Amino acid sequence: MDLATGAMGSLLLKLGQLLTVEYKLQTGVKEDVEYLKRELENMYAALRKVGGVPRDQLDEQVKLWANEVRDLSFIMEDIVDKFLVRVEGAEPAIKPHELKKLMKKMGNLFSKSKTRHEILDEIKDIKLRVMEAADRRDRYRVHDVVANPASVTTIDPRLLALYKDQKELVGIDDSLNELTKKMSDGDFDASKQLKILTIFGFGGLGKTTLAKAVYDKLKAQFDCNAFVPVGRNPSVKKVLNDILLEIDGQKYLELDERQLINKLKGLLENKRYLIVIDDIWDKKTWELVKTTLVCNNCGSRIITTTRILEVATTASEVYKLQPLSPSLSKDLFHRRLSCGAKEWPNHLPAEVYNKILHKCGGVPLAIITIASLLVGKPVEFWSKVYTSIGFGHEENEDVENTRKILLFSYYDLPCHLKTCLLYMSIYPEDHVIEKDSLIWKWVAEGFIHEEPGVGLFEIGERYFNELVNKSMIMPVERNQYSGIITGCRVHDIMLDMICLLSKEENFVTVLDSNEQYANSHCNARRLAVQHIVQPLASTSTLQARSLNAMCNAEMLPSLSCFEVLRVLALEGPSGSHNPNHLEHVGKLVHLRHLKLGSIGISELPKEIGHLKFLLVLDLGENSISELPESIGRLSQLKYLNICKTDIEVPCWIGDLTSLEELCLCVVDEDSNFVTELGKLTELRKLR
């Protein structure tokens, strides 16, 4: 499945499954399914063409048709899934008495027959809608849409070294030296006073990169230091805890804001500190954080970065970061293009790349992005890129051109990578996205299709590397210079772009303010709940396929409101949920991914064994003492994380024969763990 085609890819596979002898469809219904399969294959091809063309270049009628067919594909997949789940039936968690078992079997026979009639009637209804959509496809000549097929690229293993050794250093030497001097200069008495310096400039200029370079150069001269990102819609409590974590090595989740301020003041009172507060958007937030930082005449220094002038002017000194000069832009561009090589390839079209660099406006993010797009591409492709970038006439022309460059790079991605990239709009700004967790969500959402001899996770890892290679996401290493990538970040400009695209396509609905979520969540396909202060109405969200919540449980609708949920990730603040919120989890029979962050639960409902399609079960940092035996029935489970609890390895762990990853905390020396482990022949990672 991908963004351009909705659920079409997986739907065609399931329609083929329905046509097998196993389901014994009535003759008329079988003919309907065969017709749908044939017609949808043609629509699938047309949708892929449409997906290769920038949305603003499509005819309005074509856009309406594409939206309609994508919606139809989701509705049809839900119908087919309901049929497959209800006819096959879910295994009960506990085997009943034989008499009850017989009665249940008789009831199931009636229920299955009724289910077949209900769902097959729906198939007949959907056939009429598909016929109408097919007529409109021919009327609008959708097949004549010209697409720009993305060429295949290979993973560039040297890109991580480029991030460290070239990209972060090109063009910042003069600024680095100047800021270092500003942070050190002055007479003896003045040098002991607290200095606050703000690095100001629009997104993509490299404010964070410069601040980090200054921080790394100076931090050894101070008693304690911290580098903390803020971003939009910040939690002041989280910012204060992040500062405390870097200074004191621990968080104080039980304290309120007033207590955190007092704690931080006490720690900094007699210390010379260096603190960087990165990416401040709101003056009020900054003023509150600033009051916690002690002015103690110990020679302390504070550096902030912001793109908001009102915030910048509150500092004692402002450093306005300028775009790169033409010569430095060229240096950065050709380093990325030649992967760090010192020599400049002579065969490349100098005239065109000069024009492209001029359009980049000296913005490092734009330069890196466009150079990544051109790596390995033929010379004739360069002119096409320049023509397609367009000319911005907005108030800030550089920002507008950068956005257009990013959009062009986005449309050059294959359909499956577009989908995977836009899915990252579920995460808030400045969030460190864990690579493995992200890939398993892609798998559960159905974005990754099987390839012969290759596991789904390995395919997802390849997708991740391709997005890094194309500079669409920024890799995060386990330790500095370790070379082991464990996650990623999405640059602010990129996140703005993908959130806008995601909203236009109704791909992800992000709820992060009262104004946005008042009535928008009922028709959401994927719901990302971030910063909200009022509970969502318990309205049936029949279409929702995923719920990613970083808020308190009290803000969320009951799980009974969701019928076709595939991904459920409850990652709110520690202790923000309660066991009752999982009350209906056993009814989410379509669920593939269940992640329970630090939500403060102590037991799992035994009905969890009903989730026969579950692929991922992540218990997070919870005080669960025992796993229900019904989990042993989850024959498709590929990932099980119980490493943050004190649960001993259950005796039935060997029944989970599809497991690929197993994370544990406690192993009893006297248990038969090794014997059970030997049954897990698909296991590739054990922690």
**Residue 353 pLDDT grade (very low, low, confident, very high; cuts 50, 70, 90):** confident
Tens-place pLDDT, residues 569-615: 988 766 555 556 788 888 888 899 999 877 767 778 888 988 988 99
State the burial class of residue 115 (Cβ atoms within 10 Å of its Cβ: 0-12, 13-18, 19+): middle
Residue 308 is which amino acid?
Answer: I
Name the nearest CA neighbour of 272 among 213, 221, 316, 227. Answer: 221
Identify whether the C-beta of residue 148 lies closer than 8 Å to the C-beta of residue 58. no
Tens-place pLDDT, residues 528-547: 988 776 777 666 566 788 99
**Residue 319 pLDDT grade (very low, low, confident, very high; cuts 50, 70, 90):** very high
> Rounded to an integer, what distance in angstroms lies between the CA atom of residue 62 and that of residue 72?
15
To the question of domain 492-686 being in CATH 3.80.10.10, the answer is yes
Tens-place pLDDT, residues 551-562: 776 778 888 888
Angle in degrees, CA 255, 258, 261, rounded to 5: 90
Tens-place pLDDT, residues 227-261: 998 877 788 888 999 999 999 888 888 888 889 99
Ordered alpha helix ranges (H), 203-316: 207-218, 236-248, 257-268, 283-292, 309-312
Per-residue pLDDT, 420: 94
**CB-based contacts of 281: which residues, under 8 Å, 6+ apart?**
230, 231, 232, 234, 306, 307, 308, 311
Of the candidate ranges 169-173, 286-290, 355-359, the one whose mean pLDDT is the lowest: 169-173
Per-residue pLDDT, 150: 41
Per-residue pLDDT, 509: 87
**Residue 339 pLDDT grade (very low, low, confident, very high; cuts 50, 70, 90):** low
For tokens 């054990």, name the residue.
Answer: 686
Identify whether the C-beta of residue 336 lies closer than 8 Å to the C-beta of residue 368. yes
- Looking at the domain that runs over 172-320, which CATH code has it been given? 3.40.50.300
Per-residue pLDDT, 2: 53
Tell me, letter by letter, the H, E, C secondary structure of 22-82: HHCCCHHHHHHHHHHHHHHHHHHHHHHHHHCCCHHHCCHHHHHHHHHHHHHHHHHHHHHHH
Hey, where are the domains in the chain?
A: 8-144, 172-320, 492-686
Mean pLDDT of 69-77: 79
Task: Give how far the C-alpha of residue 465 lies from the chain's centroid of Cα atoms, to the nearest Å.
Answer: 14
Tens-place pLDDT, residues 256-287: 888 999 999 999 988 999 999 998 888 888 98
Answer whether residue 491 shows pLDDT above 70. Answer: yes
More confident residue, 616 or 520: 616
**Residue 114 pLDDT grade (very low, low, confident, very high; cuts 50, 70, 90):** low
Mean pLDDT of 79-100: 56
Name the nearest CA neighbour of 563 among 93, 77, 127. Answer: 77
Mean pLDDT of 451-466: 92
Task: Give CA separation, 102 vs 105, 107, 293, 633, in Å.
Answer: 5, 9, 71, 21
Task: Output the pTM of the full model.
Answer: 0.73
